[in-house]
């Protein structure tokens, strides 16, 4: 894929996929269709597939959907500028479909709640229709911790795949949570009626060197402030307790689930070593950059996009039973992300 940055460790991130106990020959000669291919998780996912293809001569074909037209100097990669909310078709056989396109940060939720629903739901529907056409293909939905809502009961080990917390559906901020829930139901419905093979990855909050400049999540803002040498701004008391995952670890989990995930099952993707409060997260980033944490009140538009969940920890024992492990805890991931972003200035 196109070069992401100059830091040598990004290549280490991508090559960490080899730590998975997977027979990559199961990808040989296959064609992938990936939405959100240039996003925070889509970027390392594609880079891992490129790496595997070149290391093992897998003869892959990658069809990558993005908002803007791009070009690649690799013959096996084709970019398509496509709004996934609109019906479309792809010529030729598709073996694996990954739906990773979504509005994923607070300002998008607050300013474009309708579009957030459309991207998730219509995008899933349109890609599932392509899966229906390609009998025997596998569909991977990239879902989210946000489907669980707020843990108000104090689950000892966090949300398991069959647990759910409190979520008020009558709020515009629920555009993301509820539409992701509907995406999962769409998968189950297509499976029951159309015999689609699917698997779901419920990612916790993600970060890493491929975060986008317009990403307004709290952690992303902390990181960008640190890169600019500005104090870390915390816009709440910081008591929110969440699970986090480094982007390349999340991408590796998606590849594992494509090969080993049980059909019709959802899998949490998180690491207990990266469960942390928002205040502790801000302090970790400040220490790494010799900065301070300061408090400020958010604007009304920004506040509308904030998650209402105060506790959202994921239990990842199910995917770990398949052999997946995170390579980078929150401290190591933050250091790597900051080093990469600073080297890219």
Residue 204: per-residue pLDDT: 96
Model confidence at 305, in pLDDT bands (50, 70, 90)? very low
293-295 and 266-269: which strand pairing? Answer: unpaired
- Give me the residues paired with residue 62 across strands: 32, 77
Which residue has better confidence, 298 or 24? 24
Q: Return the sign of the alpha-carbon dihedral for residues 166, 172, 177, 179.
A: positive
Rounded Cα distance between 151 and 41, Å, is: 25
The vertex-45 CA angle with 23 and 1, nearest 5°, equals 110
Q: Are 172 and 206 contacting, i.e. CB atoms less than 8 angstroms apart?
A: no
Residues comprising the chain, all counted:
345
Token pair belonging to 255: 């590849």
Model confidence at 201, in pLDDT bands (50, 70, 90)? very high
Q: Are 78 and 92 contacting, i.e. CB atoms less than 8 angstroms apart?
A: no
Residue 221: per-residue pLDDT: 87
DSSP code per residue over 55-113: HHT---EEEEEESS----SSTTEEEEE--TTS----SS---EEEE-----SHHHHHH-H
Residue 128: per-residue pLDDT: 98
Q: Are 24 and 56 contacting, i.e. CB atoms less than 8 angstroms apart?
A: yes
Pick from 86-100, 185-199, 204-218: least confident? 204-218
Residue 99: per-residue pLDDT: 97
Token pair belonging to 337: 């992300």
Task: Provide, rounded to the nearest whole percent, the portion of the chain with pLDDT above 70.
Answer: 92
Residue 98: per-residue pLDDT: 98
Contacts 24+ apart (CB under 8 A), 220-227: 220/105, 222/281, 222/282, 222/285, 223/285, 223/334, 223/337, 223/338, 223/341, 224/341, 225/291, 226/285, 226/286, 226/288, 226/289, 226/291, 226/338, 227/338, 227/341, 227/342, 227/345
Q: Closest Cα to residue 338, out of 276, 263, 281?
A: 281
Q: Which of 21-30, 96-105, 170-179, 291-300 has the highest mean pLDDT?
A: 21-30
Q: Residue 162 pLDDT > 50, yes or no?
A: yes
DSSP code per residue over 22-40: --GGGGTT-EEEEESTTST
Residue 345: per-residue pLDDT: 60
- A 10 A CB-CB count for 333 gives 26
Rounded Cα distance between 176 and 308, Å, is: 12
């Amino acid at each position: 894929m196109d070069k992401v940055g100059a830091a040598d460790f990004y290549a280490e991130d991508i090559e960490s996929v080899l730590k998975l106990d997977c027979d990559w020959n199961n990808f040989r000669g296959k064609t992938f269709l990936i939405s959100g291919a240039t996003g925070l998780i889509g970027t390392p996912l594609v880079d891992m597939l490129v790496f595997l293809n070149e290391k093992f001569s897998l003869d892959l074909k990658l069809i990558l959907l993005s908002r803007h037209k791009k070009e690649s100097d690799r013959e096996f990669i084709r970019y398509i500028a496509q709004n996934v909310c609109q019906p479309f078709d792809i010529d030729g056989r598709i073996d694996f479909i990954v739906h990773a396109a979504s509005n994923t940060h607070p300002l998008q939720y607050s300013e474009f709640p309708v579009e957030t629903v459309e991207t998730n739901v219509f995008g899933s529907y349109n890609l599932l229709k392509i899966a229906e056409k390609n009998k025997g293909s596998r569909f991977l939905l990239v879902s989210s911790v946000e489907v669980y809502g707020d843990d108000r009961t104090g689950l000892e080990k966090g949300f398991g795949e069959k647990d759910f917390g409190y979520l008020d559906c009558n709020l515009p901020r629920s555009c993301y949570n509820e539409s992701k829930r509907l995406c999962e139901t769409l998968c189950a419905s297509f499976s029951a009626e159309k015999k689609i093979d699917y698997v779901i990855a419920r990612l916790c909050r993600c970060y890493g060197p491929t975060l986008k400049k317009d990403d307004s999540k709290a952690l992303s803002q902390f990181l960008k402030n640190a890169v600019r040498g500005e104090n870390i701004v915390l816009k709440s008391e910081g008591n929110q307790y969440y699970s986090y995952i480094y982007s390349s670890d999340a991408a590796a989990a998606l590849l594992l689930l494509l090969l080993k995930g049980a059909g019709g099952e959802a899998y949490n993707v998180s690491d207990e070593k990266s469960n942390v409060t928002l205040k502790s997260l801000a302090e970790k980033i400040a220490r790494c950059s010799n900065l301070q944490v300061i408090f400020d009140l958010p604007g009304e538009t920004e506040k509308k996009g904030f998650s209402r969940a105060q506790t959202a920890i994921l239990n990842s024992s199910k995917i770990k039973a398949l052999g997946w492990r995170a390579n980078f805890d929150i401290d190591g991931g933050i250091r790597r992300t900051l080093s990469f972003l600073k080297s890219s200035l």
